[in-house]
Structure 1
């Protein structure tokens, strides 16, 4: 897909994660969709690529711990802003007996909302088009706000002009948007620049009301998106790439503990495989394999 040792920048939000245990106690860690993907991508690529995370944090001890953890994972910190007096967002995961999760969020004042609007953001925005791959999600679009989205679009246009690959994970969360119309408008503003769309079928149906997978692929064909991956949980993922279709079965597991980051880990492994020369089918197999491991462990990030 790109250079022999690609530079990838993932844009988004990392939050304080509280995992509720069966006895009511809370286990604290960190997570967020693009951050989860960044960690798993860095692990998958190793020294065959470099991964930077683009976000804004506070100057508190939780933000310090986040950065320390990312450095251990090999994620570059040069694109992380530290805003005095601000804090990262927080969320709590509650899971049912089947491993399905419910999220409770505290994020309205999170530092990431100013990620692209501070004076310190100017050199970051200027540097982003120099990467080989830019990766962001529907949650990224929501949390950076309208002004941040305008800055992002300008960046995507320049990045594509320079030959960068743009990767988008749809991750639609209705609670983050004032209306479904606002979300649709934001998605439409960036999708023309996307070359690899990593979609979850439930999110596509919730956002656009697509009747089935064929309707999803038809919509992205009209946009001209060259590579579309449709994640469908425990079912086979479907791929359309350069006019060819693929149907790749998921990995079965006996017991699902927590589905948090299942889609993020799939996306990371898929992208890593494609960057290393794997075919779409091989990339999907890698995605399913990693996701099958992630859902058997509590929390977003499994031990290395």
Structure 2
């Protein structure tokens, strides 16, 4: 059935993750300390996070007719994701990502090639109008063409669907996009890029959030890593602390875990601050495992974690 509570427009890419002490400089070769290949892409990570957290979830994207595309289909099938609007693109390969993971800190640096998803169009989004209009939450990012993201946000908003824009990677965009957003969810680096405001201080983060609201977003939700998250909008300004974890293994995908979890909680009718806490739990659990999609927790793990935290 062409129904879902959460619809995600975005990319799938095959994650090629290399672990080393540091990135090499130009002309240098380093021996790695580990390698893993698995499913990734911000949109795909977010839809898997949402599905494992208990929501009926659907993906809108394009993949190639290749081995990575087959990886995508198997991944979504395993988590029960609706793929009725995943298109097979015969002119481009499925996307891929180079991921460097520090063996010392777990921090990461990433290069993305969107591949077939770069061909997503506004027409592709309109073809999924029935799916989008029946959802509770619509989520998108900037790894696929911005025109497709705008059309998805506009279409969802016109049907009363809550819209979440995760503006990653941060790109120059027309301010008009924000008028279609119930929540804009950049991390602190992306918020600084989008607004030109230094977000390294609490005051700066608030100013950047206020600027995003001035540009038209109903709410700005800036994730601040280990410092938590900042929500600014109609309900005022609130800082929500992050959960502490014993050991960070890999931060790749933590933002996607947060966005997927936040979307699920909003779809369940939870208030925004409670939804942030729910999303933060997903992020905290995800960083304790390697990988992106494979690190997304189940609903049982999330509920147990939140009970333990009180």
* TM-score over 0.5 (shorter chain): yes
The equivalent of 1:287 in structure 2 is 279
Cα distance, 1:274 vs. partner?
A: 2.0
**Larger CA deviation: 247-256 vs 230-239:** 247-256
Inter-partner Cα distance in structure 1 for 2:41 and 2:247: 24
Render the CA deviation track for 1:256-303: whole Å, top value 9, x for unaligned: 111101111111112211221222222222222221111111111216
Inter-partner Cα distance in structure 1 for 2:91 and 2:34: 29
1:18 aligns with 2:27: no
The equivalent of 1:111 in structure 2 is 116
The equivalent of 1:95 in structure 2 is 101
Cα distance, 1:84 vs. partner?
A: 2.1
Q: Aligned with 2:172: secondary structure?
A: helix
Question: Do the aligned partners of residues 152 and 284 (structure 1) sit closer, same or farther apart at CA in structure 2, a change above 3 Å counting?
Answer: closer
Match of 1:74 among 71, 80, 92: 80
Match of 2:142 among 123, 138, 144: 138
Inter-partner Cα distance in structure 2 for 1:210 and 1:267: 23
Q: Aligned with 1:260: secondary structure?
A: coil
Runs of 5+ consecutive residues of structure 2 not aligned to the other structure: 21-31, 199-203, 299-310
Q: Aligned with 2:256: secondary structure?
A: helix
Render the CA deviation track for 1:39-60: whole Å, top value 9, x for unaligned: 011111x2xx421101001111
Question: Do the aligned partners of residues 117 and 71 (structure 1) sit closer, same or farther apart at CA in structure 2, a change above 3 Å counting?
Answer: same
Inter-partner Cα distance in structure 2 for 1:112 and 1:74: 21
For these two proteins, the number of residue pairs brought into alignment is 277
Render the CA deviation track for 1:51-97: whole Å, top value 9, x for unaligned: 11010011112212211210111110101000225311111221121
Question: Do the aligned partners of residues 203 and 153 (structure 1) sit closer, same or farther apart at CA in structure 2, a change above 3 Å counting?
Answer: closer
1:185 aligns with 2:173: yes
Inter-partner Cα distance in structure 2 for 1:27 and 1:137: 25
The equivalent of 1:163 in structure 2 is 160
TM-score, structure 1 normalization: 0.82
Cα distance, 1:196 vs. partner?
A: 1.4
Match of 2:61 among 55, 71, 80: 55
Cα distance, 1:30 vs. partner?
A: 1.1
The equivalent of 2:201 in structure 1 is none
Question: Do the aligned partners of residues 17 and 240 (structure 1) sit closer, same or farther apart at CA in structure 2, a change above 3 Å counting?
Answer: same
Cα distance, 1:117 vs. partner?
A: 6.7
Inter-partner Cα distance in structure 2 for 1:262 and 1:225: 23
Render the CA deviation track for 1:86-131: whole Å, top value 9, x for unaligned: 31111122112111112244x26x111212277x666235754443
TM-score, structure 2 normalization: 0.81
Inter-partner Cα distance in structure 2 for 1:126 and 1:9: 11
Cα distance, 1:27 vs. partner?
A: 1.5
Q: Is this contact kept in 2: 1:172–1:207, CA < 8 A?
A: no
Question: Do the aligned partners of residues 223 and 206 (structure 1) sit closer, same or farther apart at CA in structure 2, a change above 3 Å counting?
Answer: closer
**Larger CA deviation: 158-167 vs 289-298:** 158-167
Cα distance, 1:17 vs. partner?
A: 0.8
Question: Do the aligned partners of residues 152 and 137 (structure 1) sit closer, same or farther apart at CA in structure 2, a change above 3 Å counting?
Answer: closer
**Larger CA deviation: 281-290 vs 151-160:** 151-160
Question: Do the aligned partners of residues 194 and 121 (structure 1) sit closer, same or farther apart at CA in structure 2, a change above 3 Å counting?
Answer: closer
The equivalent of 2:38 in structure 1 is 29
Q: Is this contact kept in 1: 2:126–2:151, CA < 8 A?
A: no
Q: Is this contact kept in 1: 2:39–2:75, CA < 8 A?
A: no
Cα distance, 1:215 vs. partner?
A: 1.4
Inter-partner Cα distance in structure 1 for 2:135 and 2:58: 10
Cα distance, 1:219 vs. partner?
A: 1.0
Runs of 5+ consecutive residues of structure 1 not aligned to the other structure: 174-182
Q: Aligned with 1:240: secondary structure?
A: strand
Over aligned residue pairs, what C-alpha RMSD do you find? 2.4
1:201 aligns with 2:168: no
